[in-house]
Amino acid sequence: MKSYSKILDGWFSEICPMWPGIALSLEIEKVLYSQKSKFQQIDMFQTKNHGKMLVLDGIIQLTQSDEFAYQEMLAHVPLFAHPNPETVLVIGGGDGGILREVNRHDCIKTIDFCEVDEDVINVCKEFLPDLACGFDDPRVNVHIADGNAFVKVQKNRYDIIIVDSSDPIGPGEALFEQPFYQSLKTALKPNGIIATQGESFFLHKECVINLIKITKNLFPVQAYSYFLVPTYPGGNIGICLGSLGPQLKKPCRDVTEKFQKQLKYYTPQIHEASFVMPYFATKMFESI
Ligand code: SPD
């Protein structure tokens, strides 16, 4: 599967068979970067109303106007569900947004960051320095490697693993399959938690069902959270979570006032609310 995104009359349209018949368009002011890396086409646009926008293989990864919602939720939901996360692995997310959020937790001692495409990191450091700001934290070890291969050889090592993948239509495809999830589980310490990019139950029903099936089979505690990101397909996206112990649906550590003030989307209330599903999704998940 590949995207057919295009720019027409100054508007970028995100067209992909993964969301047939629907496309988001953003008005573009300037192409800031456009190159093919070893793995994918990397584009950075200056949009008219939504800041800079990172696009990989024709698919929107983030815009400056709403990236905070995704990065905060994918990082802080699992991290605040764990009583004392000390070792963290982040797979994907070469833009550095998840890393920026993970680094806010002082209790964390080591963060392994694994991204397959070094060019994404470098382009984001150049054009999105406020986002790609976490790479120099002394707790961070950057590994330029395939996330699937990297995690396969890790055992009993991490309290939290966060997978910030692109969609399952390019280099990220294996990150939506059972063997990868088995490796994630093996790489966790007792009481560990995984959180993975979980697509949208409005537009990617089969994919979401499959992720929930996989995690339900592997983990004693499983849950799905969703939230709003206007520039993702359908305006929403989910997180698929699996835990070897802790409950997931409430933060189990205090979100201090100092911590809260750094954020724009995540709150303890939105943590809990993000697990409350619309009726059709509840029915859909019950049948799995
Ligand atoms: N449909 C796009 C899903 C993109 C998920 N990854 C975004 C990377 C942001 N750190």
| Secondary structure percentages of the chain, helix, strand, coil, to 5 | 30, 30, 40
Query: Within a 10 A sphere around the Cβ of 67, how many other Cβ atoms?
Result: 25
User: Does residue 256 surpass a pLDDT of 80?
Assistant: yes
CATH number at residue 27: 2.30.140.10
C-beta of residue 112 within 8 angstroms of C-beta of residue 88: yes
Percent of the chain with pLDDT over 90: 95
**Boundary of a domain, candidates 63, 78, 93:** 63
CATH number at residue 73: 3.40.50.150
pLDDT for 284 equals: 92
User: Does residue 288 surpass a pLDDT of 90?
Assistant: no
Domain enclosing residue 278, as ranges? 67-286
**Same domain for 72 and 49:** no
Number of separate domains in the chain: 2
**Same domain for 206 and 157:** yes
Which candidate in 43, 66, 117, 164 is catalytic? 164
Ligand 1: residues with CB < 6 A are 59, 61-62, 70-71, 93, 95, 97-98, 164, 166-167, 197, 232-233
Helix residue ranges, H only, the chain: 67-81, 97-102, 118-127, 147-152, 178-187, 205-218, 257-260, 268-273, 279-286
Choose which residue among 197, 200, 228 to substitute to test ligand 1 binding: the one with the highest number of ligand atoms within 8 A of its C-beta: 197
| Ligand 1 atom closest to 95 (CA) | 10
Of all protein residues, the one whose alpha carbon is nearest to atom 3 of ligand 1 is 166
User: Does residue 172 surpass a pLDDT of 90?
Assistant: no
Higher pLDDT, 287 or 163: 163
**Same domain for 57 and 93:** no
| Ligand 1 atom closest to 62 (CA) | 9
Question: Is 164 among the residues known to form the active site?
Answer: yes
What is the C-alpha separation between 175 and 147, in angstroms, rounded? 8
> What backbone torsions phi and psi does residue 216 show, to the nearest 5 degrees?
-65, -35
**Same domain for 182 and 52:** no
> What backbone torsions phi and psi does residue 16 show, to the nearest 5 degrees?
-155, 140
Question: Mean pLDDT over all residues of the chain?
Answer: 96
pLDDT for 171 equals: 66
**Same domain for 79 and 181:** yes
Distance 42 CA to ligand 1 centre (A): 13
**Same domain for 199 and 73:** yes
**Same domain for 207 and 72:** yes
What's the pTM value of the predicted model, to 2 decimals?
0.97
User: Does residue 1 surpass a pLDDT of 80?
Assistant: no
Choose which residue among 26, 90, 167, 227 to substitute to test ligand 1 binding: the one with the highest number of ligand atoms within 8 A of its C-beta: 167
**Boundary of a domain, candidates 63, 80, 106:** 63
pLDDT for 23 equals: 96
Of all protein residues, the one whose alpha carbon is nearest to atom 10 of ligand 1 is 93
**Same domain for 178 and 86:** yes
**Same domain for 132 and 219:** yes
Choose which residue among 166, 211, 229 to substitute to test ligand 1 binding: the one with the highest number of ligand atoms within 8 A of its C-beta: 166
**Boundary of a domain, candidates 48, 63, 78:** 63
**Same domain for 103 and 222:** yes
Per residue in 187-220, pLDDT (tens digit) is: 999 999 999 999 999 999 999 999 999 999 999 9
**Same domain for 209 and 132:** yes
pLDDT for 2 equals: 84
**Same domain for 125 and 74:** yes
